Chains A and B, each alone.
Chain A
Amino acid sequence: MTADAVARTLLEDRLRFTGYIRALVIDNHAAEDIFQDTCVKAIARAETFETEKDALTWSRTVARNQSIDLIRSRQRKDYFLSEETLALLAEQEPQEAPRGSVDQLRALEACLKQLTPKTREVIRLRYGQNLAGAEVAIRLQRKAATVYKTLARAYSQLRNCMEHRLNSGL
């Protein structure tokens, strides 16, 4: 593959890729750093990849191992997933082809507007202002459990909405 082709492949898979890394390291910044570092390494050896799948598989392995190194270097090792779980997650084949992050973000933007005002407020505080669930609960005078339930339901609603929009080409 050419460097251009590898770059494009990884960028198209960026959201899923960083989501996967974030699942491991629980840190947005670290996930972005690992993704960028992985891109650089993959592009540097682009000629060794024959297919997009080769590039993605190799890159996921690099990212997974960097994540493990990062986890090992941290103090609260007990909080992270076990290495057995990490290995199983790494073997997990994506169930869908990458859709392109631009399309996904556009769909998500539209779907967020369809949530109730209360749910949007929880999301704004949790993700926009990066407050912990307990802090969101205090801010909104609700129970923390209610905040987590709201986030869980929002996930399902957004997923259904995005699938609908992406599949129908909206």
Chain B
Amino acid sequence: MKKRAWILGSLAVLLAGGAIFVEATIGWSMIVGMLRYDTRREGDLKVGDKAPSVVLHEIETGAATQLFDQPPLRPVILVFGSFT
């Protein structure tokens, strides 16, 4: 009985310590956000694949424009991202 209480107590201390550590370092809101909204994926492409022809929009007009419908004349550096 005493042994069981000791194990449970140790577990509780470990859990509490872990919870405090997570809050102090990453933060629980970050963990929850990551679990709910982290949609990182590798995509369908790898090095050596042909870049697919894609349709994007001009920022000012919203007009559709095509990228990689033919090989570029110079190397193209693509930077994916958003404001937030």
Please indicate whether A and B come from the same complex rather than being unrelated chains: no
A interface vs B, CB < 8 Å? none
